[in-house]
Amino acid sequence: MVLGMIDKYVVQPVYNFFDEVGRIVLFAMEAITLLFRPPLFWREILTESHHVATTCIIPVVCTVAPIGCILAIQALNILRPLGVEKLMSSMVVIIMVRELSPAMTSIMIAAQAGTSMAAELGTMRVKEEIEAQDVMAVNPIQYLVIPRFIALFIMCPILTVIAFFVGMAGSYVISVYVEGVNKGAFLTGLWTYLEMYDVGGAIFKSCVFGLVVAVISCYKGFYVTGGAAGVGRAANDAVVICITTFLILNYFLTSILWITM
């Protein structure tokens, strides 16, 4: 009885978890091996990249700009009474570059592009389109999955950079025009602590996050079972698993890249 419960609620889930992780890793490795084997479908890569960029840009801008605004307000709340208002932009820019632009961008990309990829591939699986491609001697991983991998790997850092500028613009507008911070102080403060290393680190992070979204969303969609309901589940799982995974991963990446000894 108790053993049965342990089996059902502990052993099985743990087993399933590692089973799934193993499959995802194998899937990623297969895709990466096929990446180096021709043909590479350039048109699909361009279409997918364009699709990711156009569908994600507005959600990214609309979430990062207000984040920039609130960061400015909260930073001023702490720094103004201490009389170090000029450090406000130094603090905001560090948080924005190192953490919030990669994370917020990836969250929106997972929500927008990741779910749409999972649903699209899932529908193709259910409708036997993926099998049809295979029968027509076109490898579906090369034709469908690799272009999506590349699109996310490229667009995630690009959107992250855009998000960074938008976020900083938000915080500039609030601090200069609403809170009355000195323009010059804000702009010079930006360079107090920021280094190229931070920008590189942020781009590295966003490449990793882009890959996480690509691998998990495509995996979930590509191996859908169970018809239309399965497609819905895949899209749902994809977004939750993606965001959880890369936010946890984010902690480790930040530790490696920026921990102060």
Partner 1 sequence: MASKEEFRKYETGEPIVTVRNLSKSFGSLRVLKDLNCDIKAGETTVFLGPSGTGKSVFIKHIVGLLKPDEGELEVMGRNVPTLGERELYELRKHLGLAFQLGALFDSLNVYDNVSFPLSHHTRMRQKEIKSRVAEVLELVGLPGTENKLTTELSTGQQKRVGLARALALNPTIVLFDEPTTGLDPILCTTIDELILKLKTELGKTFIVISHDIEGTWNMADQVGVLYQGTLLRYGRNADVRRDDNIFLKQFFGRTEDGPMIGV
Residues at the interface with partner 1 (CB under 8 A): 120, 123-124, 127-129, 131-132, 134-139
Per-residue b or e along 224-258, where b marks 16 or more CB atoms closer than 10 Å to that residue's CB:
beeeeebbebbbebbbebbbebbeeebeebbeeee
Q: How far apart are CB 123 and partner 1 at their closest, in Å?
A: 7
Please identify, using beta-carbon distances, which residue of 19 and 131 lies nearer to partner 1: 131
Closest CA to 148 of 57, 222, 200, 204: 222
Cβ-contact 88, 67 below 8 angstroms: no
105: exposed, middle or buried (Cβ count in 10 Å: 0-12, 13-18, 19+)? buried
CB of 223 to partner 1, least distance (A): 15
Give Cα 243 distance to the centre of its chain: 7
Give 141 or 216: the residue with its C-beta nearer to partner 1.
141
Q: What's the CA gap between 97 and 102, in Å, rounded?
A: 8
CB of 136 to partner 1, least distance (A): 5
- Select 9 or 15, whichever has its Cβ closest to partner 1: 15
Nearer to partner 1, 99 or 134 (CB): 134
Q: How far is the CB of 246 from partner 1 (least distance, A)?
A: 28
